[in-house]
């Protein structure tokens, strides 16, 4: 009798399950899109985030303090030409700044905040060269001291000249060193290939030592074998701090907030850089037309094809359509109906954002 009741209960459950499935299929699907979700304003969201009380502050402070016993070892490695690369979960900003202020007092330290969106690496190299210049002039036994006083200011020098100066055999002693401290060397303003190669060349200079931190799991992919073992000459140190990324996080957009103009431009720029040069040029033609005719609803496909063919960017409508398909898939370009009934193309960015995007590309 009990088995019969169990079978009835299971049958009723399965019957209700399939009835619910059928009613779900017959119902009308929602027409809402993810893009229609009403996101909170970024300023309000950041205000709420700032009210969250941090946890385990004492334990984090104790963990960071425990790394002080390694400072002498790190200084020893720097003196012998190694670069220090700190990795591990948690912000390492407090740790590196404490290391610099307590253990690197004999060095002149130049700090670079790699978590910022843009960094002028030439200004960094100029600051390092000026510091080294001042050091060399203070050396009484320097054979080149008299010549250094007559040199031109570094703001008139090229990047190659600055690197050559930092790598020059200026003093018989090896005591004239400048330390480059880079918070987040894998940050958004530093992670492109050209910047990383320049950083590697600077780090390889005879009068330069480098200390840096990384946080992205794929950061080592930024460097080739020569950069790791010869130029940067990294000595890896696992120093997890579990400290919150309070300062670093300020410069990154929040995922639950409106992205704003700057984030839209950045996203579009990343997508465009992944496309072919011809595709980028086609996009520029459309963008320039939109900027030149702000009152128009868009640019017709025929007009775009004629303009691109005159510039030898496309040879057929099929080629143009393949580019447009990529633009539409990445939501770089959208289509709408013109007042005369024709379909036209437009870029869903404001005038200021579009001008900034063209400068980036």
DSSP code of residue 52: S
Give domain 260-360's CATH architecture: Orthogonal Bundle (1.10)
Do 260-360 and 57-249 fall under one CATH topology? no
Q: List CB contacts of 134: < 8 A, sequence separation 6 or more.
A: none
Classify burial at 256, counting beta carbons within 10 Å of its beta carbon; exposed 0-12, middle 13-18, buried 19 or more: exposed
Cβ–Cβ < 8 Å for 210, 180:
yes
Tens-place pLDDT, residues 100-114: 999 999 889 999 999
Domain residue spans of the chain: 57-249, 260-360
Return the CATH architecture of domain 57-249.
3-Layer(aba) Sandwich (3.40)
- Please name the residues in contact with 215: beta carbons below 8 A apart, sequence gap of 6 or more: 87, 92, 184, 186, 245, 248
Average pLDDT of every residue of the chain: 81
Distance, CA of 264 to CA of 315 (rounded, Å): 31
Q: 289-310: buried (b, 16+ CB within 10 Å) or exposed (e) per residue?
A: bbeeeeeeebbbbebbbebbee
The percent of residues in the chain predicted with pLDDT above 70, rounded, is 78
Retrieve residue 292's tokens: 């030149």
Burial class (CB in 10 A: 0-12, 13-18, 19+), 202: buried
CA distance 241 to 250: 19
* Residue pLDDT, tens place only, 269-292: 777 887 888 888 999 999 999 999
pLDDT of residue 144: 47
Which band of pLDDT confidence, cut at 50, 70 and 90, is reported for residue 26? very low
**Structure tokens that stand for 136 in this block:** 């060399």
Is the model's pLDDT at 130 over the cut of 80? yes
Q: Which residue has better confidence, 260 or 295? A: 295
């Amino acid at each position: 009798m009990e088995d019969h009741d169990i079978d009835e209960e299971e049958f009723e459950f399965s019957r209700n399950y399939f009835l619910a499935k059928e009613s779900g299929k017959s119902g009308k699907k929602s027409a809402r899109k993810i893009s229609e979700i009403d996101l909170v304003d970024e300023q309000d969201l950041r205000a709420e985030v700032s009210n969250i009380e941090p946890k385990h502050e004492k334990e984090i402070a104790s963990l960071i303090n425990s790394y002080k016993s390694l400072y002498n070892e790190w200084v020893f490695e720097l003196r012998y030409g190694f670069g220090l690369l700190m990795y591990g979960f948690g912000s390492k900003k407090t740790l590196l700044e404490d290391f610099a202020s307590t253990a690197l007092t004999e060095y002149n330290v130049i700090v670079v905040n790699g978590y910022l969106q843009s960094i002028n690496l030439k200004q960094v190299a100029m600051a390092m060269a000026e510091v080294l210049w001042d050091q060399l002039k203070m050396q009484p036994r320097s054979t080149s001291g008299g010549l250094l006083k007559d040199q031109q200011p570094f703001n008139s020098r090229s990047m190659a000249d600055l690197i050559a100066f930092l790598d020059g055999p200026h003093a018989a002693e090896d005591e004239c060193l400048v330390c480059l401290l880079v918070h987040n060397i894998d940050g958004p303003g530093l992670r492109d290939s050209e910047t990383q190669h320049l950083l590697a060349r600077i780090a390889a200079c005879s009068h330069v030592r480098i200390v840096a931190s990384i946080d992205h799991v794929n950061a080592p992919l930024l460097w080739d074998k020569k950069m790791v073992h010869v130029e940067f000459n990294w000595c890896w140190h696992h120093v997890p701090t579990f400290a919150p990324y309070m300062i670093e996080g300020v410069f990154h957009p929040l995922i639950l907030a409106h992205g704003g103009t700057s984030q839209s431009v950045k996203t579009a720029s990343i997508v465009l850089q992944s496309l072919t040069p011809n595709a980028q040029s086609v996009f520029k033609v459309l963008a320039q037309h939109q900027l030149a005719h702000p009152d128009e609803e868009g640019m017709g496909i025929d007009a775009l094809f004629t303009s691109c063919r005159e510039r030898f960017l496309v040879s057929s409508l099929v080629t143009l359509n393949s580019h447009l398909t990529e633009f539409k898939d990445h939501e770089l370009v959208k289509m709408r109906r013109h007042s005369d009934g024709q379909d036209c193309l437009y870029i869903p960015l404001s005038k200021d954002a579009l001008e900034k995007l063209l400068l980036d590309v």
